[in-house]
Amino acid sequence: MRLKAKLLNIESGGTLIIVLNPKVMKELDLEPADRVRVMSEKKYAVAITDVSSAVDETEIGIFDEVKALLDVETGQPITIIPEEQPVTITSIKKKLDGIKLSEDELFELVTDIVDNRLTKAEIASFVTAVYIRGMELDETEHLTRAMAETGQMLKLGVKPVVDLHSIGGVPNNRTTMIVIPIIASAGLYIPKTASRAITDPAGTADTMEVLAPVSLGLDDIKEIVLQHHGCIVWGGSLNIAPADDLIIEIEHPLQLDPTAMLLASILAKKYAVGATDLLLEIPFGPGTKATKARANELEKKFVALGGRLGINVEVVKTDGSQPVGKGVGPILEARDVLQVLENSKDAPADLRARSLYFAGLLLEIGKKAKQGSGLKMATEILKSGKALTKFKEIIKAQGGDPELNSIDLHPGKYDETIYAEKSGTIQGIDDDSIKKIGRHLGAPYNKGAGIYLWNKVGDKVKEGEKLFTIYAESGRKLSEGLAFAETNNPFRIKT
């Protein structure tokens, strides 16, 4: 049936919904919450039906999510046909019953997720089933391959291709932006597809976006990497492992992080960019995604799954009990990164040391340095200015301003400083509180929002001494952040 689009200017919160007149519903033998295939000139989506006489018989009411997906305008002709319930519902029920899924079942399930043939409730059921029942290594491998192969694949035609990834959980762990230019300077290929923040004040893509565009096409990325040996781009703009973002949207509000899906989420993207060697950081401790015991368990599983995919995975387990660097939030983190690359005396020592350690290991893994000499080589590349030159090359190639320096980066103009209420030694800095303060201030959407840490764990402070300064781009956001910070001070001081 062909109908005219009527834009309702209503958000569903993510679910794809269209509204039909009662007579149209009857003619198509549809009930509310049935599926229909909605087709514009070049795109299609599977949506859930609702019914209202406010939409006449010649119209189809379009919610905002459907409008965005199909790029629909008012009055545009839209074709709809009833859609059968996907057979993959049976696969979801099988997994809920604890039955192992086959390679074909998992590929079809991932395909239905990518093609929007499953509702959020059905995807949530799948995530829940994996969380409760787990997955065997065979299943996880098939899920990983399906997630990669249902999206775009980057084929550089060169080897080795190295990569660096952290499972996350630690604020301002921006080692990637320092490691990439060091590794690229040494002649190794390192295409980095980074994520945006989900719960943190910034992801690597959010921070890199301060310096250069991160939404690039696959052909552009291939050209940049082959010419400059590295890039730092947003994976979400590339249709690389597209099911991953859709699954993460479900996992986040449910606060579920099934191990099999964590493994597949990370390694599907590495497999899709052709990585041959991966250095994987697993931070552990309060506020991170892993205890020390879980970090050990994850190491074994990542190494085993990587081997099946042809990826050599080397794992580094790190203390994630406090933020890395001084700044938290896109601009403040970008300033930290540039200060390290500029060899500035103001550069955060912990960020510099951690980045050089990772870069040294990758140089050894990529056979550019002999075992035990990678750190020395990485340090020489950084001190010589080669890493900074390479980083500016990459910034320019991605469409940014290579003349931008750390002194040019300024956080939001609204600020407030929190001071120590007593003298003593800083025993801890709560990562979770830091993240929440940053989000209240407007990060990562407001690039200038964030937190500057004047002290770190182990430092001695006197009463009235600065602990941290918060920044926002509006007075309202500053007030929100300040109110939360005053009742959830992340610094723990012991006298």
Cβ 323 vs Cβ 432: under 8 Å: no
What type of residue is 68?
A: A
User: How far apart, in Å, are the Cα atoms of 178 and each of 164, 293, 307, 486?
Assistant: 11, 29, 27, 33
Calpha distance 33→30 (Å, rounded): 9
What are the helix and strand counts (H, E) for the chain? 18, 18
Is 257 part of the annotated catalytic residue set? yes
Residue of 115, 257, 415, 432 marked catalytic: 257
What type of residue is 388?
A: L
CB atoms inside a 10 Å sphere around CB 131: 16
Cβ 199 vs Cβ 252: under 8 Å: yes
The secondary structure of the chain in percent helix, strand, coil, rounded to multiples of 5, reads 45, 20, 35
Edge-first strand listing for the sheet containing 414-419? 327-328, 450-453, 466-472, 414-419
Cis check: omega of the bond before 444, within 30 degrees of 0: yes
Burial 302-333 (b: 16+ CB within 10 A, else e): bbebbeebebebbbbbbebbbbbbbbbbbbbb
β-strand pairing of 466-472 with 450-453: antiparallel
Calpha distance 47→25 (Å, rounded): 14
Calpha distance 234→206 (Å, rounded): 8
Phi then psi for residue 191, to 5 deg, are -80, 115
CB atoms inside a 10 Å sphere around CB 289: 18
Q: Is 340 exposed, middle or buried (0-12, 13-18, 19+ CB in 10 A)?
A: buried
Which residues, in sequence order, are bridge partners of residue 425? 460, 494
Q: Which residues are catalytic?
A: 257
